[in-house]
């Protein structure tokens, strides 16, 4: 416990400050990307996680360097939280040679295997079996790492979700399934697409723990994921965690959000996870208002520097068109 904050023991005061800055880095990154798409400076498509910063930052805060994550098409926050290089990320979105995929993969295919980020995935639910495979590797080779597997509410209606949970359960694999329930799969409300009230209830069908978390509460996220990580690392198998969160932007850049009301959006924005985290840290005397403002500015500056790096990076040459491309 740190100044009356109930948090896992590895979370120090410095780590809490780093997490506050990290959340702003995630938000500023995606807001900047949103601006560039609107101006036609970035091509293809992207899926932004503005509003969902807490689920990525809080979950990944409680795992170690050797632990792995598997991300989603809405994965910029996961990558940043797993110590991703924002210069390489921005360059990839700009289609530049200095990007993670040398400018050929775009938003949905960023990975950093050396840092334990096994990659984003353009297929809904496509990363869930990959996480199970990584967890099986950990168990068979006694490598003692755990895998955090992120996916959205829409993925829980895919066969890959059910088959993967079943395999992970019967083999007691060290994987934590994290459903970022942002209330909508594309334009479909989770209430219309899923009969049960809580997605976490599906854990009962596979004999594994199921947890429901306020996905805007950093402390609840850290404590719940930490408990699941320790459960998995102890050889007790997977946990399904449902994080109730909300995306402020549309599903993708072409989404006008006509399926939800302005009142609903304002209600969720008022519960902003970054502000809640800041207020709690100030109340606990971990941060001052001035320190919070400085960390926010540092995050903003880092994104501006990433933009400058990307803009000044070369585009892939025609001679290297077929490199790193598999048919």
Q: Which residues of the chain have pLDDT under 70?
A: 1-3, 327
pLDDT tens-digit readout, 68-92: 999 999 999 999 999 999 999 999 9
Question: Distance between CA atoms of 41 and 180, rounded to whole angstroms?
Answer: 29
Q: Do 228 and 258 meet the contact criterion of CB atoms below 8 Å apart?
A: no
- Sheet strands (E) in the chain: 68-70, 147-152, 175-181, 184-185, 188-189, 210-214, 239-244
pTM reported for the whole predicted model? 0.95
DSSP 167: H
- Which residues pair with residue 214 across a beta bridge? 244
pLDDT tens-digit readout, 40-61: 888 888 999 999 999 999 999 9
Question: Distance between CA atoms of 222 and 217, rounded to whole angstroms?
Answer: 9
Q: Domain segments of the chain: what residues? A: 21-310
Burial 214-233 (b: 16+ CB within 10 A, else e): bbbbbbbbbbbbbbbbebbb
**CATH superfamily placement of domain 21-310:** Thiamin diphosphate (ThDP)-binding fold, Pyr/PP domains (3.40.50.970)
Identify the pLDDT of residue 326. 74
Q: Do 304 and 87 meet the contact criterion of CB atoms below 8 Å apart?
A: no
Spatial neighbors of 232 by CB under 8 A, at least 6 apart, are 146, 173, 174, 175, 176, 238, 239
Identify the pLDDT of residue 39. 87
């Amino acid at each position: 416990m740190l100044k009356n904050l109930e948090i896992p023991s590895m979370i120090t005061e410095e780590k809490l400050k780093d997490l506050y800055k990290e959340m702003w880095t995630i938000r500023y990154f995606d807001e900047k990307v949103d601006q560039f798409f609107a101006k036609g400076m970035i091509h293809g498509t992207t899926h932004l996680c503005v509003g969902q910063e807490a689920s990525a930052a809080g979950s990944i805060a409680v795992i170690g360097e050797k632990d792995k994550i598997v991300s989603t098409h809405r994965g910029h926050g996961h990558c940043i939280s797993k110590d991703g290089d924002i210069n390489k990320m921005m360059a990839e979105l700009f289609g530049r040679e200095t990007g993670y995929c040398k400018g050929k993969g775009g938003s949905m295919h960023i990975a950093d295997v050396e840092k334990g980020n096994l990659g984003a995935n353009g297929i809904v639910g496509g990363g869930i079996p990959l996480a199970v495979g990584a967890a099986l590797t950990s168990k068979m080779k006694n490598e003692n790492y755990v895998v955090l597997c992120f996916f959205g509410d829409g993925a829980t209606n895919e066969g890959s979700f059910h088959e993967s949970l079943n395999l992970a359960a019967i083999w007691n694999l060290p994987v934590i399934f994290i459903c970022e329930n942002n209330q909508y799969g594309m334009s479909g409300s989770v209430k219309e697409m899923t009969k049960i009230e809580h997605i976490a209830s599906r854990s009962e069908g596979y004999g594994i723990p199921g947890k429901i978390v306020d996905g805007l509460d950093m402390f609840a996220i850290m404590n719940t994921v930490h408990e699941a990580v320790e459960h998995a690392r102890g050889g007790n198998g997977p946990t399904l965690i449902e994080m109730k969160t909300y995306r402020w932007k549309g599903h993708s850049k072409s989404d006008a959000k006509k399926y939800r009301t302005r009142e609903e959006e304002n209600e969720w924005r008022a519960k902003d996870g970054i502000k809640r985290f800041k207020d709690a840290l100030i109340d606990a005397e971990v941060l001052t208002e001035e320190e919070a403002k400085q960390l926010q500015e540092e995050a903003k500056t880092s994104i501006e520097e990433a933009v400058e790096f990307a803009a000044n990076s070369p585009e892939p040459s025609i001679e290297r068109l077929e490199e790193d491309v598999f048919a």
